[in-house]
């Protein structure tokens, strides 16, 4: 018979193994031909990104980056509904309420992974089929190629839950045409299908049902260069006829978006929207009024500063903001209202833009000393 201690060891070992297979199933990492393939595998929760998934994906990308036999990396989601609907926000909120270190570690590791994608030396192809929001944007937008389909729904809805458009939003959003990025960041507007390409977020558009063929063809490429991959993606892109004739959903509003969202402060944006008074402006006002005033102010400044920063500096700034949100009130209240009680009636503190002081905002951007994110 096993001694009690040994028996405990066996049980622990067994649990560890079981946990490993359970958590390994959240994300599948495999090599096919010259391609490393990452499959987000939590279809029931729209492939929401957990801490353990981040911990598995990051070292794998780094390994493939160094491997002479890996020529490209493909990332996709399972289940047909979502690429990745975001980070596991509820787990972070629970950790924050319990005073757990996870609120520091999660964001630190997530942004480190986002940066690894943004600096990856191997061509990185994200198949953003279905819902792609928040954390899912961080897994795709910084890579070389982003393939949207007619099922893609892209948004950065963070201001509605007391957060800000992170995962490098401060870098890519202000670099979109005109003020589209500011508009998306502050209102959480959802872009669908080909509009994700027209906004400058996706690089290609391919019909959803053609993705398995595209993937096969990518895997079959012999020692491909970035150019070979681009040529293959282009050949699929050119054949896709869905919604080809439709004009960009924001086209008719671009002039307004560019003028209304170019103001230096949230108060000024609101004033401009009120003064404009068009149905479009009134709709934006209604949306903005539902958002966390604190989040709106942080997001506007994040994008204005991020516009001239390197990707790494943006992540350092966003890490500071993430920790300010973890210390604050609105993130927990937003998660409660949207994800837990689902009453959609968050009680923000402060409740008005005017009450969010410049000093408070400045404070959120302050360096964290030895706790700063270093990339």
pLDDT digits (tens, 9 = 90+) for 329-346: 999 999 999 999 999 999
Average the pLDDT over each of 23-37, 171-185, 233-247, 315-329 and give the range with the smallest value: 23-37
- Answer whether residue 160 shows pLDDT above 60: yes
**Per-residue confidence (pLDDT) for residue 234, from 0 to 100:** 98
- Answer whether residue 22 shows pLDDT above 60: no
- Answer whether residue 11 shows pLDDT above 80: no
- Answer whether residue 6 shows pLDDT above 90: no
Residue 316 has, within 13 A of its CA and on its CB side, a CA count of 16
Active site residue 87: yes
Average the pLDDT over each of 7-11, 98-102, 199-203, 256-260 and give the range with the smallest value: 7-11
- Answer whether residue 137 shows pLDDT above 60: yes
User: What confidence tier does 25 reach under pLDDT thresholds 50, 70, 90?
Assistant: confident
Catalytic residue among 26, 129, 166, 330: 166
**Per-residue confidence (pLDDT) for residue 2, from 0 to 100:** 54
**224-253 average pLDDT score:** 95
CB atoms within 10 A of CB 245: 6
Sheet holding 145-148, edge to edge: 27-32, 35-40, 72-77, 124-128, 145-148, 204-205
Strands 153-155, 191-192: pairing is antiparallel
Residues 155 and 149 sit within 8 Å (Cβ to Cβ): no
Rounded-to-integer distance, Cα 89 and Cα 218, Å: 33
Catalytic residue among 158, 195, 318, 333: 158
CB neighbour class for 164 (10 Å; exposed up to 12, middle 13-18, buried from 19): buried
Active site residue 158: yes
DSSP string, 19-78: HHHHHHTTEEEEEETTEEEEEE--GGGTTPBPHHHHHHHHHHHHHHHH-TT--EEEEEES
Active site residue 166: yes
Domains and CATH numbers, the chain: 26-371 (3.90.226.10)
- Answer whether residue 21 shows pLDDT above 60: no
Rounded-to-integer distance, Cα 98 and Cα 109, Å: 20
Catalytic residue among 87, 138, 162, 334: 87
Rounded-to-integer distance, Cα 54 and Cα 48, Å: 11
What is the average pLDDT value for the chain, to the nearest integer?
95
**Per-residue confidence (pLDDT) for residue 180, from 0 to 100:** 98
**Per-residue confidence (pLDDT) for residue 9, from 0 to 100:** 67
Residues 97-135, buried b or exposed e (16+ Cβ, 10 A)?
eeeeebbbebbbebbbbbbbbbebebbbbbbbbbbbbbb
Catalytic residue among 130, 135, 193, 306: 135
**Per-residue confidence (pLDDT) for residue 7, from 0 to 100:** 65
pLDDT above 90 as % of the chain: 92
User: What confidence tier does 304 reach under pLDDT thresholds 50, 70, 90?
Assistant: very high
- Answer whether residue 313 shows pLDDT above 80: yes
Answer left, alpha or beta for residue 217, where phi above 0 means left and psi between -120 and 50 means alpha.
Answer: alpha
**46-63 average pLDDT score:** 97
pTM comes to 0.93
pLDDT digits (tens, 9 = 90+) for 243-302: 988 999 999 999 999 999 999 999 999 999 999 999 999 999 999 999 999 999 999 999
pLDDT above 70 as % of the chain: 94
**11-27 average pLDDT score:** 61
């Amino acid at each position: 018979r096993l001694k009690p201690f040994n028996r405990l060891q066996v049980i622990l070992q067994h649990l560890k193994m079981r946990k490993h297979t359970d958590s390994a199933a959240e994300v599948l990492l495999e090599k096919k031909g010259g391609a490393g393939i990452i499959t987000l595998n939590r279809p029931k929760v729209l492939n929401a990104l957990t801490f353990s998934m981040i911990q598995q994906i990051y070292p794998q990308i780094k390994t493939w980056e160094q491997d002479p036999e890996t020529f490209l990396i493909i990332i996709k989601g399972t289940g047909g509904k979502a690429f990745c609907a975001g980070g596991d926000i509820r787990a972070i909120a629970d950790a924050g309420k319990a005073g757990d270190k996870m609120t520091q570690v999660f964001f630190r590791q997530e942004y480190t992974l986002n940066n690894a994608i943004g600096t990856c030396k191997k061509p990185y192809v994200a198949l953003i089929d279905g819902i792609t929001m928040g954390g899912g944007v961080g897994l795709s937008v910084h890579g070389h190629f982003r393939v949207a389909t007619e099922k893609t729904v892209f948004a950065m809805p963070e201001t509605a839950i007391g957060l800000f458009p992170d995962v490098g939003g401060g870098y890519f959003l202000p670099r979109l045409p005109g003020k589209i990025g500011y508009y998306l960041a502050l209102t959480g507007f959802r872009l669908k299908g080909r509009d994700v390409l027209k906004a400058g977020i996706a690089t290609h558009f391919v019909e959803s049902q053609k993705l398995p063929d595209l993937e096969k063809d990518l895997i079959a490429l012999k020692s491909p260069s970035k150019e070979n991959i681009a040529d293959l993606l282009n050949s699929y892109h050119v054949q896709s006829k869905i919604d080809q004739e439709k004009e960009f959903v924001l086209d008719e509003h671009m002039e307004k978006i560019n003028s209304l969202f170019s103001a230096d402060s949230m108060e000024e944006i609101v004033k401009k929207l009120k003064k404009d008074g068009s149905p479009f402006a009134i709709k934006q006002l209604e949306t903005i009024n539902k958002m966390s005033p604190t989040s709106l102010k942080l997001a506007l400044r994040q994008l204005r500063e991020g516009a001239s920063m390197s990707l790494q500096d943006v992540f350092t700034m966003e890490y500071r903001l993430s920790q300010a949100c973890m210390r604050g009130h609105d993130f927990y209240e937003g998660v409660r209202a949207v994800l837990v009680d689902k009453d959609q009636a968050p009680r923000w503190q402060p409740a008005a833009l005017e009450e969010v002081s410049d000093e408070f905002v400045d404070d959120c951007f302050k360096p964290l000393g030895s706790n700063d994110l270093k990339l």
